[in-house]
Structure 1
Amino acid sequence: MSLSMIPTEAFTQVDNFSEQHIIKPDAALDKCMQNAANNGLPDISVSAIQGKFLMIQAKMMRAKRVLEIGTLAGYSSIWLSKALPADGELISLESNEKFAQLSRENIAYANPSCRVEVKHGAALETLDTLQGAFDMVFIDADKMNSAAYLRKAIDLTRPGAVIYVDNTVRNYNILLDEHTQDPYGIGIRAVYPALQQLQDQGLIEATNIQICSSKGHDGLAIAVRL
């Protein structure tokens, strides 16, 4: 059966089935999502399965410093913080002041053992103020600037660090339309030549994985810093 013949609700059902067996109850994560809904934030956080995937990735690389671009309510931030040691650090960037404040409250309730800081402001400007090398970067903010965030992440990561760019498909018709005028489509399409250029420069090795989940059909680009 082709992907187009699988009903969309099947992806949600599979995610729900997986979560029942794999995701442990977590009051802080539940509260984070409830606070996001109560405050009218868009329902665009990563799913629980995807959040745990990010946590496992950080654990696998024994990350101590993680940079997240796009905080929203702090759901993925909480997941990532679970992977870090007590002397670890997570810095998350959020341009919306309301979102930044809510995420700080949600993260404080989660009481992570590592240091977590949510910086409010335009990420392209905030990135220029950061110092030191990060072990992992998760890019999940405004899609028009994803390629720019990716390029800036190169200067903020050590060799061997891993950079993730979320939502690299979302709408495949727009993604594959070289004449699209859709701002979202223009933004995600720009990620691919950026990955190609950075590979050609010998700065990264990258791939892109298609994802089918409760969030629909999407993609995740993964790049290793050389």
Structure 2
Amino acid sequence: MSMQHWNNSHTAQSTIWDQVDEYMNALLIPGDKALEEALEANAEAGLPSYDVTPNQGKFLQLLLQIQGASRVLEIGTLGGYSTIWMARALPEHGRIVTLESEAKHAAVAESNLTRAGLMHKVDLRTGPALTTLPDVKEDYAEPFDLIFIDADKPSNPDYLRWALRLTRPGSLIIGDNIVRDGEVIHAGSTDPRVQGVRTFLEHIGNHPRLEAVALQTVGAKGYDGFVIARVTDAPVTK
């Protein structure tokens, strides 16, 4: 297959993925002013368009509700779009701690969360996550019910180590952007993001107290996927 033919085929697939997302979202996810305004504010502030899609945000929200989560940790806030989805799933006494390395992004997120009326459920911390996670551990004695990892991919293995310290049997650990448009299968990749994801997945697969599955996704954000791991109280037979 020529490169031009591959590009044309990929473009055609992406168009179909977009259209299917739009169709499903129109049926299942009502329009939402606060979420739409958050995306507009992110774009106006020049933030990168790394937000989860509406159906991915709803997926996270449903996972929290199924889990009965009241304590959530998000590593990678960006403009707070995914934070809004998850904070809405929490009970009134619930709390989501969200970590953002960039002060500009955190300021936009705080504005979006305030506009959405959710800041009373949010502990937004600014600074590199590997420097703020020790404080989170000190400040929150109870383990988190769910941890969503969606930050710099080379640090994913370190984030996993922290996630295991901050969870309990039954907690969920979710990692985003693990397929990298299929590049994850290339052991010799020179992309540190790909290598970070590969090591992250290997550590999950080899950990005796994690049971996990990875799901490929296609849609408005292209070809990617999630890994969902559950912490167990006994070694998993693999």
TM bucket, shorter chain: over 0.9
Structure 2 match to 1:40: 46
Q: How far apart are residue 197 of structure 1 and its match? A: 2.4
Runs of 4 or more consecutive aligned structure 1 residues displaced over 4 Å after TM superposition: 3-6
Q: In the TM superposition, what is the alpha-carbon distance from 1:98 to its structure 2 partner?
A: 0.3
Aligned pair partner of 1:167 in 159, 177, 195? 177
Number of residue pairs aligned between Structure 1 and Structure 2: 220
Instruction: Give the superposition deviation at 1:113.
Output: 7.9
Q: 2:103 aligns with which of 72, 93, 97?
A: 97
Partners in 2 of 1:59 and 1:196 — Cα distance? 26
* Superposed counterparts of 1:174-185, under 5 Å: 174-185=183-194
**In the alignment, what sits opposite 2:197?**
188
Report what 1:142 is aligned to: 152
Say if 1:39 and 1:193 are closer, same or farther in 2 by CA, change over 3 A: same
Contact 2:110 2:119 in 1 (8 A): no
More helix by share: 2
Give the number of the structure whose alpha-carbon radius of gyration is greater.
2
- Tell me which amino acid in the other structure corresponds to 2:78: L
8 A contact 2:35–2:84 mirrored in 1? yes
Question: How far apart, CA to CA, are the structure 1 residues paired with 2:143 and 2:187?
Answer: 35
Is residue 20 of structure 2 the alignment partner of residue 10 of structure 1?
no
Alignment of 1:68 onto 2:74: yes
Identity among equivalent pairs (%) = 38
Asked if the contact 2:181–2:222 (Cα under 8 Å) also holds between the matched residues in 1, the reply is no
Instruction: Classify the secondary structure of the residue corresponding to 1:24.
Output: coil
Amino acid at match of 2:173: I
Match of 2:121 in 1: 115
Residue identity matched to 2:29: I
Q: Structure 2 length as normaliser, TM-score?
A: 0.89
Q: Which moved more, 1:179-188 or 1:79-88?
A: 179-188
* Structure 2 counterpart of 1:77, one-letter code: T
Instruction: Please say if residues 181 and 223 of structure 2, whose CA atoms lie closer than 8 Å, have aligned partners that are also in contact.
Output: yes
CA distance in structure 2 between the aligned counterparts of 1:135 and 1:99, rounded to whole angstroms = 25
Contact 2:106-2:124 at 8 Å conserved across structures: yes
Structure 1 runs not aligned, ≥5 long: none
Distance in 2, Cα, partners of 1:19 & 1:181? 36
Gaps of 5+ in 2: 1-8, 233-238
Q: Is the 8 A contact 2:72 2:95 kept in 1?
A: yes
Aligned counterparts of 2:201 and 2:169: Cα–Cα separation in 1: 21
Measured in 1, the distance between the counterparts of 2:206 and 2:146 equals: 20
Q: Deviations over 1:160-212 (max 9, x none)?
A: 0111000010221x3122111112211111112111221xxx22111111111
Give 1:117 deviation, angstroms.
1.4
| Cα RMSD (Å) | 1.6
